């Protein structure tokens, strides 16, 4: 569980997006650069990367976010900022381009029993 001034939360997003045309370009030094850029974005935005896997043609990101950020905003940050930073800071033979779509799913570790207990504690 994590907290902000006004909320206690456990919100985790599993985000997957692909390289445009699914070209297998996310390998070697490109993979290392993308990994570094994504971690920098998470730190700048106050997000916690739980797990990250850069595959040759797509990325799996498991990230925790406060409730004030919508899933689409988190995805836009990672895709948009990573593309701009990568293309600006790294000199590779081709530019990094993401496909327009993405997958996002939510995951948490709260059972119905935990929720019921939390509600009971609020009565007192």
What would the pLDDT profile of 76-103 be if each residue is shown by its tens digit? 999 999 999 998 888 777 788 999 999 9
pLDDT tens digits for 16-34?
A: 999 988 889 899 999 999 9
Poorest-confidence range of 18-27, 40-49, 62-71? 18-27
Given pLDDT bands bounded at 50, 70 and 90, which one contains residue 115? Answer: low
Residues acting as catalytic residues: 118
Task: Please name the fold of domain 2-123.
Answer: Alpha-Beta Plaits (3.30.70)
pTM of the model: 0.84
- Ordered by start, the domain boundaries in the chain are 2-123
> What mean pLDDT do residues 27-50 have?
95
User: Burial of 63 by CB count in 10 Å (0-12 exposed, 13-18 middle, 19+ buried)?
Assistant: buried
Residue 94: predicted pLDDT = 74
């Amino acid at each position: 569980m994590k907290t902000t001034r006004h909320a206690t939360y456990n919100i985790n997003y599993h985000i997957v997006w692909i390289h445009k045309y699914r070209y297998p370009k996310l390998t070697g030094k490109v993979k290392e650069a993308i990994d570094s850029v994504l971690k920098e974005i998470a730190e700048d935005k106050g997000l916690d990367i739980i797990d990250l896997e850069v595959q040759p043609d797509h990325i799996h990101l498991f990230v925790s976010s406060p409730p004030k950020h919508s899933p689409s905003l988190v995805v836009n940050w990672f895709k948009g900022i990573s593309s701009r930073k990568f293309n600006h800071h790294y000199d590779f033979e081709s530019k990094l381009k993401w496909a327009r779509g993405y997958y996002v799913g939510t995951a948490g570790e709260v059972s119905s029993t935990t929720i019921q207990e939390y509600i009971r504690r609020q009565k007192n």
